[in-house]
Amino acid sequence: MRLDVERIPDRAYYADLTVTTLPRLRILVGTVSASHVERTRDNLIADGNDDFGLVINLAGGQTAASRGRALDQGAGDACLVSGSDGFELTRPQAGALLALCVPRSALTALAPQAEDLLLRPIPGDNAALQLLRQYLAVLSTNGVAASPELRHAIVTHVHDLVALAVGAGRDGAEVARARGLTAARLHALKTEVLACLDQPDLSLAEVAGRHNITPRHARRLFEMEGTSFSDFVLNHRLARAHRMLSDPAQRARSVASIALDCGFGDISYFNRSFRQAYGATPSDVRASSE
């Protein structure tokens, strides 16, 4: 998608942006100085790209304009723009952004009225927008799956969340909630759990509450992947303990200390679970790494 970029007079221009290209999805994220960006009719004629773009202003202030209307965006706010209509993005100061380019056919299949939603303000506290950002953060941390099947699933989930954020139609919303919203919520729950593995009293109710869903709903999300909350927590605690016991840098620490750091409050339970999972005691694993 071609864009004309102009620097603000008397301001140095810089941009540090990363673009990830997937089938039917492009993700751009990074920081940029004060600037004026415009998508013109000549740009459209040159590239023929009529994708929709979801522009999320991550930091700083930004004004988006299209079809004779303007929208001021604060940090976290988003809006939908169209490559076929032309648009402008103006930053008086440096900031950060996240932009997604989605094919017109993909978005209109879920949100048939997408053309009427251009430049509609999407506040930063929009639930689908927050889940979308969390989902993309997980992808950024873990990398994009190499398998074509998984890549297709990721792109579909992102399309679903974009549609829900901008305003999917009734039928499209049902499909998007069943696919993308479910996947994003499960990703968010898993990320929360992995960040809190060292807490012995970590509970399903606590994690669900932080994500504004019921424990029953959270339990069903884990069950849809053929596991349970407790099994997910246990398996990852054991895996963390195994990595630490195999790490020469951790050799001076006692097995009990490592178990406690991995969230096990009962050392006997840790030893039994570890042996059942790996067919060896924690001491055996440590000795084999020496």
Taking the C-alpha atoms of residue 27 and residue 22, their distance in angstroms, rounded to an integer, is: 8
160 located within any domain:
yes
C-alpha closest to that of 259 among 277, 274, 279, 276: 274
In angstroms, rounded to a whole number, what is the distance separating the alpha carbons of residues 238 and 74? 43
In a domain, 77, yes or no: yes
Q: Which of 174, 59, 56, 181 is nearest to 121 (CA)?
A: 56
Tell me how far apart the alpha carbons of residues 53 and 28 are, in angstroms, rounded to a whole number. Answer: 10
What helix, strand, coil percent values describe the chain, rounded to 5?
Answer: 50, 20, 30
Return the pLDDT at 251: 86
- pTM, rounded to two decimals: 0.67
Q: pLDDT digit string (tens) for 267-290?
A: 999 999 999 999 999 998 888 866
CB 19: neighbour CB atoms within 10 A?
11
232's tokens? 């997910």
Report how far residue 271's alpha carbon sits from residue 14's, in angstroms, rounded to the nearest whole number.
Answer: 55
Residue 161 forms part of a structural domain: yes
The total of structural domains in the chain comes to 1
The answer to whether residues 192 and 206 touch, using CB atoms and an 8 Å cutoff, is no
> Is residue 282 in some structural domain?
no
Looking at the domain assignment, is residue 201 inside a domain?
no
> Model confidence over 170-227: pLDDT tens digits?
666 676 666 667 777 787 788 888 888 999 999 999 988 888 889 998 898 888 778 8
Indicate whether 36 belongs to any domain: yes
| 161 neighbors 131 (Cβ within 8 angstroms) | yes
224-268 pLDDT, tens digit each: 778 899 999 999 999 999 999 998 888 889 999 999 999 999 999
Q: Which is it for strands 52-59 and 78-82: parallel, antiparallel or unpaired?
A: antiparallel
pLDDT of residue 137: 82
Residue 212 lies in a domain: no
127, amino acid identity: A
CATH number at residue 123: 2.60.120.10
41 CB-side CA count, 13 A: 1
Domain that holds residue 173: 4-195
State the CB neighbour count (10 A cutoff) for residue 285. Answer: 19
Q: What is the pLDDT of residue 237?
A: 93
Four-CA torsion 30, 33, 36, 40, nearest 10 degrees: -30
**What is the reported pLDDT for 277?**
92
- Is the torsion defined by CA of 191, 32, 144, 115 positive or negative? positive
Q: Is residue 153 part of a domain?
A: yes
Please state the rounded mean pLDDT for residues 135-141. 75
What distance, in Å, lies between the first and last C-alpha atoms of the chain?
55
